[in-house]
């Protein structure tokens, strides 16, 4: 048994569209998790034309197919930049250093898998050399905003017994603050090195990238005594693909095209609460 999930921006999901898709797939009764925003129905077999169906409604809603069993996960493993927050921290630091446009171009190419992540990170951090440490606090306070739905996602999963880990190719100076703001249980990221109160232009080794995120998935799930199938991973960049394809539920959130192409579950319309709808939570069950 499978679940066909439909998620749109609030007020954007028309009952007529849901009914038409249910009829086209021979689905069962429709359940509205949030009126006008999220609905689902069961199907006995996976539609053979799933990609075609997804494409046909892509302008209106995210259509995803999930196994009916084991949907509610026991661990959330989340990327930070452009996932739990709306920005890329290194791009915002680069704006302060006067090299914003150049760094943003490198970031975009790296996240789309066009550049080696470690090399691209090293190159960008070098451009931040001599920035005063205080810039980090200023960026956090004036440039960084939480992705909508993040606090509700973490609070709801934790209220139902799940563990939340933030794993980022970014920097601990940001993940520690974001993790505390959103309610994560732990965080892992790279370290920006400093010298005499200024950024040295170097990052601590080893650099946390794609493989380190997979390692976090393995280590934390083993420590919790759960299987990787019981983990929900979410991210948007090429360095997230390892954990997205290994986790029981890997969600590409507003992701780069190359990432979406390699992920079965994609969210382009909804915010982070879409990850609760994918697990079968109704809005009335949300915490936080």
What positions carry a catalytic annotation?
79, 81
5: closest CA among 277, 283, 285, 264? 277
Alpha-carbon span 47 to 77, nearest angstrom: 29
Contacts 24+ apart (CB under 8 A), 179-187: 181/146, 181/151, 182/84, 182/146, 182/150, 182/151, 182/154, 183/151, 183/154, 183/155, 183/158, 183/288, 184/78, 184/154, 185/158, 186/220, 187/80
CB 79 within 8 A of CB 170: no
């Amino acid at each position: 048994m499978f679940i066909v999930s439909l998620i749109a921006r609030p007020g954007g999901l028309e009952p007529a569209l849901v009914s038409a898709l249910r009829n086209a797939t021979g689905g069962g009764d429709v359940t509205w998790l949030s009126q006008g925003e999220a609905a689902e129905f069961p199907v006995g077999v996976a539609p053979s034309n799933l990609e075609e169906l997804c494409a046909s409604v892509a302008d209106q809603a995210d259509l995803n197919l999930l196994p009916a069993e084991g949907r509610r996960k026991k661990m959330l493993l989340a990327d930070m930049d452009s996932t739990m927050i709306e920005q890329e921290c290194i791009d915002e630091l680069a704006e302060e250093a006067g090299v914003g446009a150049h760094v943003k171009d490198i970031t975009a190419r790296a996240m789309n898998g066009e550049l080696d992540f470690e090399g691209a990170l090293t190159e960008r951090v070098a451009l931040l050399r001599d920035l005063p440490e205080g810039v980090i606090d200023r960026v956090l306070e004036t440039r960084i905003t939480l992705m909508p739905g993040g606090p509700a996602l973490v609070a709801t999963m934790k209220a139902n017994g799940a563990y939340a880990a933030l794993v980022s190719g970014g920097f601990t100076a940001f993940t520690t603050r974001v993790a505390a703001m959103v309610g994560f249980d732990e965080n892992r990221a790279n370290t920006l090195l400093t010298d005499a109160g200024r950024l040295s232009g170097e990052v601590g080794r080893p650099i946390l990238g794609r493989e380190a995120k997979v390692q976090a998935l393995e280590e934390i799930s083993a420590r919790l005594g759960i299987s990787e199938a019981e983990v929900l991973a979410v991210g948007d960049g090429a360095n997230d693909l390892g954990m997205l394809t290994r986790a029981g539920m890997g969600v590409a959130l507003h992701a780069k095209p190359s990432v979406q192409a390699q992920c079965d579950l994609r969210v382009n319309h909804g915010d982070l609460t879409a990850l609760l709808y994918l697990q079968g939570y109704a809005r009335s069950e949300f915490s936080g």
